[in-house]
Amino acid sequence: MSRQYNMNWIVMGATMISVLMGMSFVGLVPSETMGQASNATTATGAANATSAGGGGGETTVVMPLGSSAATSGGGYEPATITVSPGATVVWDNQDNALHTATSGNPDTATPDGKFDTGLVGANQQSKPVTMPTAPGEITYFCTLHPFLVGTVTVQ
């Protein structure tokens, strides 16, 4: 290999190390920093609590800033939504912590398998989650913060 080629690799390696050290200095890990995304969707409130009727639609539920603290009083917004069978729901994590929306029993932190967003990174949205087609009320919670509880009513 040529001397110039080796020097380019050294410079690139030093740059990468500097960037990683800078991120650790401010308390961010690379996966959090690289995974950040801007999000113009901040739909909350009653207008967003019911999805479009007739075979689906998409509803957004927000995980607000500070909701990872048990004492914040914050939770999923809105806490209760009503959707059509087979509708999709997106969870918008506006907090600075990871969250999930997992159906099941929040008292025992036991998932029931009806739906699960998986981990939703800070300032990111979940992939659209298809709700069950059977009517009923489904309780869900955050597996990392089980005090965060919400309800989906399928009707």
Residue 57 has a pLDDT of: 74
Which single residue is written with the structure tokens 């040529």?
A: 2
pLDDT lower than 70: segments of the chain: 1-9, 11-56
Residue 73 has a pLDDT of: 84
Which single residue is written with the structure tokens 């050290």?
A: 21
Rounded Cα gap, residues 63 and 48, in angstroms: 14
Handedness of CA 29, 123, 55, 155 (dihedral sign): positive
- What are the structure tokens assigned to 85, written together? 């069978």
Residue 7 has a pLDDT of: 63
Sequence-distant (≥ 6) Cβ neighbours of residue 96 within 8 angstroms: 65, 68, 122, 123
Rounded Cα gap, residues 124 and 37, in angstroms: 6
Q: What is the pLDDT of residues 24-57, one digit of tens each?
A: 433 433 333 333 333 333 333 333 343 434 455 7
> Got the DSSP string for 33-89?
HHH---------SGGGSBPPSSS--EEEEEE-TTTTSTTS----BSSEEEE-TT-EE
Residue 56 has a pLDDT of: 54
Helices (H) and strands (E) counted in the chain, each on its own, are: 2, 9
Residue 103 has a pLDDT of: 98
Q: Which amino acid type is present at position 47?
A: A
